[in-house]
Structures are given as C-alpha cells and as structure tokens.
Amino acid sequence: MKLWEGRFAQPSAKSADDFNQSLSFDKKLYWHDIFASIAHVKMLGETKILPAEDVEKICDTLQSILADIEGGALAIEGAEDIHTFIEEELVKRIGVMGKRMHTARSRNDQVATDFRLYVKDSISAVCGQLHALISTLLEMANEHIGHIMPGYTHLQRAQPISLAQYLNAYSEMFLRDLERFTDCYKRTDVMPLGSCALAGTDFPIDRTITAKLLGFSKICQNSLDGVSDRDFVAEYIFCCSTVMAHLSRFCEDLILYSTWEFGFIEISDNYSTGSSIMPQKKNPDIPELIRGKTGRVYGSLTAILTVIKGIPTAYNKDLQEDKEALFNAEETVKSCLSIFTELLRNVTFRTRKMHNAAAGGFSTATDIADYLVMKGMAFRDAHGVTGRIVRYCIENDKSLDKLDLATYRTFCELFDEDILRKVRVTESVEARKAIGGSAKSAVRENIRSLTKRLNKLCKD
C-alpha cells in the first residue's frame, strides 16, 4: 500500500519503487520515529484533536510495535520508508484508528524531527568517545612530562619538545572537535514537528507540548525552513571531518614514528599486522586505514553540501540523500575513534631513542642565537653566527653540545661558560616557560587547563 495511492490510476513500477525507497537505510530511525509519533499523538490528545481512547490505543500499539522490532519478532521490510512501515504496521494492528495518527503531520516534518532526534543522540555518543580519547591522552601526557623528543617542521628536526607537549597538541585538537559537536548540538536541538508539509497546519496543535515530550529546547519558527533545513546534517559531517583530519594526522605520525628509521614508538602486536611475503615486517595497518577512511567522511561532506545547494524552497526528495551521507560519516568516525583509542593505549614510547634523536641534528641552534641576542646582538646577526657554527659542526662531524668554549669563542666573543649548558636539550626544553611552551611547568599547566576545559564541556 502507498500512503499516496488515492490519486493514482496506475500502480507505480517496481523499478521506480526500488529507486524511491529509503527503508533499506532509514530503518535505523525506527526508535526515534516511534518516540516522535507517541509524542505527536499525545499532543493531539491534549489539544482534543483526537479522543483519549484513540490516543491510548495508538500509543500502546506503537509501544508493542517497538517491542516486537527490538525482540526480533517484527522485521522491518516491505515499505517505502520507516515512517510508512510503522504506520502500516499500526493500521494492520488496530485498523482505521491507526490512520488517525498522521493528523496534523506530514512525513516532511516527521522525517526532519526523527532525524534531528537521531543526530542529537549521535552527537552525545561521539562526544563520549572524544572524551575517552582525550582522557587517555591526558593520562599519557602526565606520564611523559619529563621526556624529550625532537619537534619537526617540514619534517626536519627543528627544536626539542616535551613528549607530553606533543600529546597535549592532539588533546587540544580533539577538544576543539568536542566543542564543535557541542555547538552543533544547539542547532540540531530545534523541533520541526508542526511545520507539516510546508505551510503549517489548520489544526489547533500545541507545539510546546511535543517539544517538551521530545526534549527539544527550541521550536523552529518557520515551517518552510523547518521541513527543509539540513544545515545540522552538514555541520555534523563537518564536525566528523575535523575529527578525521586530526586522527589522520596523528596516524601519519604514528606510522612514521614506528619505522626503524625513527623507532620512537612501538605499536603492540595485538594492533599490528604482518606481511604475507616479508617475514620481518610489522605493519601499522590500523593507522593507515584510519588515514585512508578520512576520504569517505570528506566525501559525505561534499555530498550533503551539494544536495543542499540546489533545492528550491521547502521539501524536495533530494533531501532523502541526507541520511546515508550522515550514517556513513557517523559509522566511520565512531569506528575510527574506538579503535584509535584502543591502539593508543597499546603504544610504547621509546623515550631514550626520542631523547637521543632530539640531542642530535642541531636542534638547539635557535637557543644559541637567542643566547647571543640576550647578550645584545641583533637576532639577524645572531642567526648568521649560529649558522656558521652549525656548518662547522657538519663539516667536522661534531654536535653543538660537544664543542668547547674556546671553539664557540672563535665564532663570537660574546660566548661565556654558560653556553655549554644552553645547548643541552634538557636546558632548551626547560627554558620555554611561557604559556604553551615545552618547560615542565608550562606542560603541567597545559594539562590542567585541558582537564578543566574538558570537564566544563561535559557538564554543559
């Protein structure tokens, strides 16, 4: 049966039905559809649009349909979409009374309402996962405040940093993602129900009742916009996209750091794979897959933005495309966050190797230049002097912390005994005490601030 077949003299073609259907993917919304229908019908009762007996019977039957779906007694199949499926099942069970459920409602405001309810729940779930990831990172950072690693720019050794400072950088990124989702929640938390097909309804409905029952904090104020606003879908997928971007960057680091060439980390055997031909290999397949899956989420973002851009005002069937785009992004981001957090807990840091790498490669050259500036030289000149010292070291196979004072003095008279301490990586890291820097005190403060912001976000 079609909800709309009254106007048609001919049945629709099977191929057209197959193409039109959304049940194969929107069946995911069954819980939210039933939840929203119960609230709608209760409101129809309170406003005397439906008699109390009908309301009770319809709500009870919707509950039993829900129980049958969840218990496996009722398979979701054979209808155009989830809304049609539930309504048909209701009519099968209680006859004509079931047909009253759709009074003062259209599938246009129904689907928008169901989907917003679904997305609100999904945001809460992803935020929970981000919270778990950031908590893991903060715990790890706490353990590594005193450990030093090389920091890179252009993938060239740049300056020594603290391992905890490195981990905190990712906490900052994921905390921004958490903030973005929290913000997206506010715009998702707006109820379209009552917009009906596009123009509102001539029934004396009370939208505040349904909003309260459904837990929406706002009601959309324009029915045309209410049925067709999918900004929240685009925003949600954008939020997923930045999570993936951050995961992908982190994975890129882990992949590099786990090579023999770097040797900074080891991913435990449980989260690594081997090669079918090269027995010596241990491959970082999981981080590679996460990096690779990022493209799917960006693809979903492009898809929804493209769907939105062309539609004339109010509902058009293009909008049915919103669901698969969001479900795909959601599934990818959830599975990646889950496996990544697990994997991270199974990473061992080779802190000695990191420290030695930081000590080589002239990573304290900037400290020498800064030293000369503090002694009164202009930074550009100091940069030149230091560059010549580095060149001398390269040509003579020496490192900055192995030169003696006399050698330093051949480059500049301003050098004193204290330069020999200045060029040590531990000194360099400890010297950066300002907010955000690598010194232990600054890194501890970063951890404190991250913890505070995380707790505050999760309370709001």
Catalytic residue list: 154, 275
* DSSP reduced 3-state for 152: strand
Which one, 76 or 431, has the nearer CB to ligand ARG?
76
Which one, 111 or 164, has the nearer CB to ligand ARG?
111
First to last CA, the chain: 46
Cα 80 from Cα 65, distance rounded (Å) = 18
**CB of 118 vs ligand ARG, minimal distance in Å:** 12
**CB of 227 vs ligand ARG, minimal distance in Å:** 9
**CB of 317 vs ligand ARG, minimal distance in Å:** 6
Q: Which helix (H) or strand (E) holds 174?
A: helix 163-188
Q: Rule CB under 6 A: which residues touch ligand ARG?
A: 22, 26, 81, 107-108, 111, 315, 317, 319-320
Handedness of CA 125, 126, 132, 134 (dihedral sign): negative
**CB of 106 vs ligand ARG, minimal distance in Å:** 7
Which one, 81 or 89, has the nearer CB to ligand ARG?
81
Cα 313 from Cα 447, distance rounded (Å) = 48
What is the length of the chain? 460
Token pair, residue 278, equals 């090269």
**CB of 97 vs ligand ARG, minimal distance in Å:** 23
Which one, 178 or 319, has the nearer CB to ligand ARG?
319
Cα 318 from Cα 329, distance rounded (Å) = 18
Cα 437 from Cα 435, distance rounded (Å) = 6
Which one, 320 or 341, has the nearer CB to ligand ARG?
320
**CB of 20 vs ligand ARG, minimal distance in Å:** 8
Token pair, residue 331, equals 């599934």
Q: What angle do CA 266, 268, 273 make, to 5 degrees?
A: 100
- DSSP calls for 83-115: HHHHHHHHHHHHGGGGGGGGTT--HHHHHHHHH
Neighbours of 271 (CB within 10 A): 18
Which one, 315 or 340, has the nearer CB to ligand ARG?
315
**CB of 349 vs ligand ARG, minimal distance in Å:** 48
**CB of 83 vs ligand ARG, minimal distance in Å:** 6
Q: Are 184 and 235 in contact (CB under 8 A)?
A: yes
Long-range contacts of 98-102 (CB under 8 A, 24+ apart): 98/58, 98/61, 100/44, 100/50, 100/54, 100/58, 101/37, 101/40, 101/41, 101/58
Which one, 79 or 140, has the nearer CB to ligand ARG?
79
Please state, in angstroms and as integers, the Cα–Cα distance from residue 54 to each residue in 41, 174, 214, following that order.
9, 49, 20
**CB of 75 vs ligand ARG, minimal distance in Å:** 19
Q: Classify each residue of 413-438 as buried b or exposed e, where b means 16 or more C-beta atoms within 10 Å of its C-beta.
A: ebbeeebbebbbbebbbbbbeeeebb
Q: Are 430 and 439 in contact (CB under 8 A)?
A: yes
Which one, 257 or 315, has the nearer CB to ligand ARG?
315
Which one, 154 or 317, has the nearer CB to ligand ARG?
317
Q: Which amino acid is at 127?
A: C
Q: Are 54 and 64 in contact (CB under 8 A)?
A: no
